Amino acid sequence: MNKIVLGVFPGAQALSATLNYIVTETTTPTIGRRAAGSGDLAVCEPFEAAMLLLGRRWAGGVVRALLGGAERYGEVRDELPGVTDAVLTARLRELCAWGLARRTEDKGTVRYELTAAGRDLAPVLDAVEDYGRRHHALLRRLRP
């Protein structure tokens, strides 16, 4: 069984269990499965895992900031007015744990950069942003 290992941060265990279920569970029917226990790769599993990842609060914004050239924690925070330090720290740790970003430290200076998998999110985020612009009125009604 494949296991997604996440770092230590609030909610890591629950998120790890959810991602693990979406990606690896084969005994319970889900959307896209023909029958319980079938070995077929459910069409929706990769989609659901990606949406779970990107649906985390501020995750898309953090990736967008890193795509835009921000490297230091403060630079990422400056790109995201309103993000709390706790949430930003959690998102950066998650992105690193998932292999979408890498944290390096040199002489006390910490930098973050996206991996190839993280950079592959650029067209996805562009498409989501485009959708949001085109359907802004509809989406505003959906906000709690």
- Is the whole model's pTM more than 0.75, yes or no? no
Residues 71 and 106 in one domain: yes
CA–centroid distance for 129 within its chain: 15
Look up the domain containing 2 and give its range.
Answer: 1-54
For 86-100, what is the mean pLDDT? 95
Is the distance from CB of 110 to CB of 72 less than 8 angstroms? yes
Return the pLDDT at 5. Answer: 43
Return the pLDDT at 84. Answer: 96
Residues 104 and 67 in one domain: yes
3-state secondary structure the chain: CCCCCCCCCCCHHHHHHHHHHHHHCCCCCCCCCCCCCCCCCCCHHHHHHHHHHHCCCCHHHHHHHHHCCCCCHHHHHHHCCCCCHHHHHHHHHHHHHCCCEEEEEECCEEEEEECHHHHCCHHHHHHHHHHHHHCHHHHHHHCC
Residues 47 and 62 in one domain: no
Domain count, the chain: 2
Rounded CA gap, 23 and 9, in Å?
Answer: 21
How many beta carbons lie within 10 A of that of residue 110, not counting itself? 12
Q: What is the pLDDT of residues 18-61, one digit of tens each?
A: 555 444 444 443 434 445 455 545 667 888 888 888 889 999 99
Residues 13 and 45 in one domain: yes
- Burial annotation 38-66 (CB, 10 A radius, 16+ → b, else e): eeeebeebeebbeeebeebebbbbbbbbb
Residues 143 and 80 in one domain: yes
